[in-house]
Amino acid sequence: MPLFLNDTDVKALMSMNDCVDVMEDAFNQAGDGKVWNRPRSRIRMPRGFHHLMAAYLAGSEVFGLKTYTSFRSGTRFTTMLYDSNNGDLLAMVQGPRIGQLRTGAVTGVATKHMSRANSSTVGIIGAGFQSRGQIEGVCAVRDIASAKIFDVSEENAQKMADEMGDSLGVQTSVAGSAEEAVTDVDIIITMTTARTPVLLGDWLNEGQHINAAGSNHWIRQEVDDNVIRKADRIVADSIEDAQIESGDLLFPIERGRVMWSAIRELSDVVCGHIKGRESDQEITLFESQGVAITDVAAANFVYRKAIDAGMGQDLPLDA
């Protein structure tokens, strides 16, 4: 009988360290040609959106889809997990925490392979729900000593600083501007819904690694053309997805600042086909759209742990 798993179950069953390992495996499978990933599709309605993502992981013998709705009343997430051997429904995972974990963990994987090994400082622009997972993911792969946080709402930035400082044991501070947040840090994160750039290339220093994780729609652009121009290495979680919805890349490519042939995929880095960084002086950029293989992989991990722990609720459905 299929299992229903909610946020409480997810929090009990999967840590950020667990999720980083799961994401690493998912991108390894992608690099080995053992996945099928469908780019996100969206249905626009007068008062909101419906979003749909689907994937198959042959190495894990599962497939599934994530569906979520975004309306003024809120955003609701559901992932459906299936057995690829017989088509049985295995689980329905509902709630935002699993998405927060997987998004932060993908940033963690990129940071592990693309940032300098001795990176110890972080600056983040944006202090929303997903931003917390971003800091968690980076702290899972690097020995982070301090983090600077900027948000258009100083209150939100302070709240996040207090929460992250307590939960991660990291020295946190609120920056007075986006530029201040990214000055003299090793790792930069952008996690906003901005339609105009919040990170400028003029602010960058050699050796920095950037995780741009908020621009998953073509109308959004978190980083300016100078960031793209200065980046010695640009990696996306999926080029196919990025060609549809990465405003960070679509606009500068349209203006001739960079070509798709210069951009590589995270799976190539994780599998060792290419290096994430050639030197400590390089500026590296990871463009994260959010891909379905990561949602299915995370749901599969939580489901297997729930079976072992006897957690979750049976759904009165035929598998």
Q: What is the DSSP string of 239-266?
A: HHHHHHH-HHHHHHHHTTS--GGGEEEH
Q: Encoding tokens for residue 184?
A: 């003299």
Name the band, by pLDDT with cuts 50, 70 and 90, for residue 300. very high
Q: Tell me the per-residue pLDDT of 44-99, one tens digit each, with 9 for 90 and over.
A: 999 999 999 999 999 999 999 999 999 998 899 999 999 999 999 999 999 999 99
Q: Tell me the per-residue pLDDT of 240-278, one tens digit each, with 9 for 90 and over.
A: 999 999 999 999 999 989 999 999 999 999 999 999 999
Name the band, by pLDDT with cuts 50, 70 and 90, for residue 214. confident
Is the CB of residue 51 less than 8 Å from the CB of residue 70?
yes
Average pLDDT, the chain: 95
Q: Which residues pair with 312 in a beta bridge?
A: none
Does the domain made of 114-290 have the CATH classification 3.40.720.10? no
Question: Is the per-residue pLDDT at 308 higher than 90?
Answer: yes
Q: What is the mean pLDDT of residues 117-143?
A: 97
Residue 88: per-residue pLDDT: 96
CA distance 102 to 24: 11
Name the band, by pLDDT with cuts 50, 70 and 90, for residue 317. confident
* Single pTM value for the model: 0.95
* DSSP helix/strand/coil, 168: helix
Q: Tell me the per-residue pLDDT of 156-176, one tens digit each, with 9 for 90 and over.
A: 999 999 999 989 999 999 999
Domain ranges of the chain: 3-99+293-314, 114-290
CATH class of 3-99+293-314: alpha beta
Is the CB of residue 248 less than 8 Å from the CB of residue 287?
yes
Question: Is the per-residue pLDDT at 319 higher than 70?
Answer: no
Question: Is the per-residue pLDDT at 25 higher than 70?
Answer: yes
